[in-house]
Structure 1
Amino acid sequence: MFHSSNRAASSHGTSRQTTFGRTTSRRSILLAPLVAAALLLTSCGGEAPQSEGEADADKAAASSAKPVADTGAGERLQVATTFTVLADMASEVAGDHADVVSVTKPGAEIHNYQPTPQDIARTRNADLLLRNGLNLELWFEKFLARLDGVPEVVLSDGVEPISITSGPYDGKPNPHAWMSPASATIYVDNIAEAMAAADADNADYYRANAERYKGEIEATLGPLHEELDSIPEDKRWLVSSEGAFSYLARDLGLKELFLWPINADAQGTPQQVRHVIDTVRANDIPAVFSESTVSAKPAQQVARETDALYGGVLYVDSLSEADGPVPSYLDLLRVTTETIVAGLTRGLEQQQQSASQ
């Protein structure tokens, strides 16, 4: 399923699923001859044979590559994004002047996603492709190579990255910068400028939506800071499965501990679990958490063996379906932070009750 969101600026929290229409794109490129020529060059160039999936992708692109009519000034901008969080951000900026789609579906694990031929065929009419960058979309370059000249924009440009400090990605940037509200406003500015450049007639509209939306992002976590302040400083730990919360932990003043640094790495090895168990015990940490796109079993094992509270599921890489707990980016920020605060609070109460017995 190819998921998308088309949200008017005045209708927060609502969206509909659609795909790009074949006559609504602003691109007026005749794709069929280009795809045919590319396939001919590949067959004559003596390159290594394609895998079955790559061949299917080329067939899908070629079969759907019909001439796209230029329908003039009434067209809507067509924007594709690599995952649902970015799609929701882009939808807030786009309002009712653009259609926004996500390649990956709600709930998907995005680090090692494998694009399908259908993904490629359905994004061929995009005027603009938005991605995170910071080495998040490991599958992206192959995906982009199979689209025909769609301009791309990296939304994390301008963000000060936090480095991963362990594992095979030691020294690489942590890609989850959208988990910081301050960084997210940079994403929103980049989205607005990308849309303004692609659709100059509506540039002021996109920028106005961006300013409104940035204010909403900045206000989302305000009430939760006071609740965190009531937790003793030495208990303010964020223990998770993936090290995806470095930016949020920094913004909230939490110390961070995780089982593995990034989902592209090995997950829940005995060594990783033992290290976290030892650290939780040594620091008497009250709660541990997991993420929605990975198995909760390693985090739950840590909780059992340390008598810490298992605080529940956090959201980071993907939104839920519309009827789920985090259908929007603002919901993702709010629900995740509320879960952290509630887990630490209940875990601390549990520790205090045990100590009094």
Structure 2
Amino acid sequence: MRKWFFALVVLLMSLFVAACGGDGESEETGELKVVTSFSILADITKNVTGDLAAVEYLVPIGEEPHGYEPIPSDFQKASDSSVFYVNGLGLEEWLERLVANAGGADIVTVSDGIDVIPVDGTNEDDPHAWLDVKNVIAYVETIRDDLMERDPDNAEAYEANAEAYIQELTELDEWISEESEEIPEDKRTIVISENAFKYFGAAYGYETIGIWELNSHEEGTPGQISRVVDLIQEKEIPAVFLETTIDSRFMDTVSSNAGVEIAGEVYTDAIGADGSGAETYVDMMKHNVNTFLEGLKK
């Protein structure tokens, strides 16, 4: 059914794009039109483009990039854009394939060159590299270099924007390291639904435990839940956490069976909605760290 859906949508949108055309620039302003796969990457990109490009993203806030089903307007956005920035590492393989089949924009993978962490028990790479701030600095450098080549008239502005943002990210990275020292080493264990914080843990000195490793068709099985409950009790972990894009029922069960509270929600695959206090990548990371501190210092 899914293959049939993809084939039909690709065919229809290919015909639509061929009929409508598109040069990757706004007809009104002539500015670059940039599309990213998800909201975190859009925010990172906006810090480099400033007001020199229109930046949109496809996966709505609150939905996971892993299993998002594209809609026809997504193809139009991507096909009309100058460049389509994706995370890579298997996060948006279906999006890349569909955009390519629709004859869309150049696709640039921003994670190229980073040190990749594998998913336990598989041949897959963990895609959540943005949860280590140093990796986001590498993302920024890739986006900066691409924009400077793509739009040389504004190269100096992209370079200056990137430099300012990298300074902000460097300060964020140092702040996370300092704040994490507030948590005793034997308490630095993050228990989450999907084990998405491996890059964060490796960078800032945390062990991470997930009910499951990476989104699949076997999420939250009784065996997975029982294993996590046993680990929580064995390690005397004081609290667990819930992702904003994950069904809470699995962690509710773990929390109840292990006798520990859910200390708060954290952001993994999307920034926060307006009014959340996590509307940007930097604010999202600060929120996550403060939530970990509150739960694990007990």
Same fold at TM > 0.5: yes
The whole-number CA distance in structure 2 between the counterparts of 1:83 and 1:322 is 16
How do 1:22-101 and structure 2 match up within 5 A?
51=4, 54-63=7-16, 65-68=19-22, 75-101=30-56
Task: Indicate how the Cα distance of structure 1 residues 266 and 78 shifts in structure 2: closer, same or farther if over 3 A, else same.
Answer: same
Aligned equivalent of 2:63: 108
Aligned equivalent of 1:251: 203
The whole-number CA distance in structure 2 between the counterparts of 1:250 and 1:191 is 24
Confirm or deny: 8 A CA contact 1:133 1:156 kept in the other structure. Answer: yes
Secondary structure of the structure 2 residue equivalent to 1:311:
strand
Secondary structure of the structure 2 residue equivalent to 1:172:
coil
Shift in Å at residue 56 of structure 1?
Answer: 4.2
Aligned equivalent of 1:319: 271
Q: Gaps (5+ residues) in structure 1?
A: 1-49, 349-357
Aligned equivalent of 2:126: 174
Confirm or deny: 8 A CA contact 2:194 2:211 kept in the other structure. Answer: yes
Task: Indicate how the Cα distance of structure 1 residues 67 and 114 shifts in structure 2: closer, same or farther if over 3 A, else same.
Answer: closer
Secondary structure of the structure 2 residue equivalent to 1:325:
coil
Shift in Å at residue 258 of structure 1?
Answer: 0.9
- 250, 254, 266: which is aligned to 1:298? 250
The whole-number CA distance in structure 2 between the counterparts of 1:287 and 1:132 is 30
Structure showing the higher helix proportion among its residues:
2
The whole-number CA distance in structure 1 between the counterparts of 2:218 and 2:163 is 40
Shift in Å at residue 184 of structure 1?
Answer: 0.6
Task: Indicate how the Cα distance of structure 1 residues 124 and 301 shifts in structure 2: closer, same or farther if over 3 A, else same.
Answer: same
Aligned equivalent of 1:140: 95
Shift in Å at residue 274 of structure 1?
Answer: 0.5
Confirm or deny: 8 A CA contact 2:243 2:268 kept in the other structure. Answer: yes
Equivalent position amino acid for 2:15 in 1: A
The whole-number CA distance in structure 2 between the counterparts of 1:299 and 1:221 is 28
- 135, 149, 154: which is aligned to 1:183? 135
Report the TM-score when normalising by structure 1.
0.77
Say if 2:240 is the partner of 1:288: yes
Q: Gaps (5+ residues) in structure 2?
A: none
Count of residues paired in the alignment: 293
Equivalent position amino acid for 1:305 in 2: N
Aligned equivalent of 1:46: none
Shift in Å at residue 196 of structure 1?
Answer: 1.2
Confirm or deny: 8 A CA contact 2:78 2:105 kept in the other structure. Answer: no
Q: CA RMSD in A?
A: 2.1
Report the TM-score when normalising by structure 2.
0.91
Q: Which runs of 4+ in 1 moved over 3 A?
A: 67-72, 221-227
Whose radius of gyration is greater, 1 or 2?
1
The whole-number CA distance in structure 1 between the counterparts of 2:232 and 2:5 is 47
Q: Deviations over 1:90-148 (max 9, x none)?
A: 11100011111101111111101111112112322111110001111131233223332
Identity, in percent, stands at 31
Equivalent position amino acid for 1:274 in 2: S
Secondary structure of the structure 2 residue equivalent to 1:204:
helix
Say if 2:194 is the partner of 1:239: no
